[in-house]
Amino acid sequence: MNKVTPVINQDIKVTVDAIVFGYNQENGISVLLIKRKIEPFLNEWALPGGFVLNHETLEEAVERELREEAGVSIDYLEQLFTFGDPSRDPRMRIISVAYFGLVKSADFSLFAATDASEAAWFNIYDLPPLAFDHKEVVEKAIARLRAKITYEPIGFELLDPKFLFSHLEQLYMELLGRDIDRRNFKRKVMSLGLVIELDEKARALTAGRPGKLYSFDKEKYKQLKVNGFDLNKLL
């Protein structure tokens, strides 16, 4: 006797969302948000994103939405998580695939268009109310970022080619959301051979002595990106 395949009635749409973390020395870690100019959640802040077109891959869709809604083009975004609560969008059943990345925010001039009326950076510790389930999405991305930096040297590319060691310390404190043991951190980072002390000093902006400048060893950085390391041993 032949088995009858049941008919499945399914009406599900797929979207993508982008969690782009930006970093600069003055403002710390921020996330890129857009203000919606259409319903639902008209005039509320949200993550850049939208529906995946029939001919697009997920990566193509998230890259297009970033360009259209914020004027941002990013080389690399990593898939974060899939959000599929049936009630997450008031319009219909929508599954969203979220991507996240970390960039130097000063490298971008934001320009809102299509479904967005504004685009802006917001510090991750001072976010406005967010549309949909985007608060949960951002929290998931922050948790992933903090987990990732414990085994991969994320963030060194966010510093200037020559930097004060205090800038590296500040970056990691921002990423971790807490203080670190600076003396041990410096000693152990230097022991990895990742950071090189230069025979140069930064121009003094105050009456104090100018600080020594550092850079990172690109080959060692690439090696640690592949092989990983234990950040917990540095803190």
Active site (annotated) includes residue 26: no
Could you say which DSSP state residue 60 is in? Answer: H
Choosing from 44, 56, 118, 157, the catalytic residue is 118
Backbone φ, ψ for residue 137 (5° rounding): -65, -45
* Residue 194 to residue 186: CA distance in whole angstroms: 11
- How far, in whole angstroms, is CA 18 from its chain's centroid? 9
DSSP 79-147: EEEEE--TTSSSSS-EEEEEEEEEEEGGG------TTEEEEEEEETTSPPPBSTTHHHHHHHHHHHHHH
Show which residues are catalytic.
118
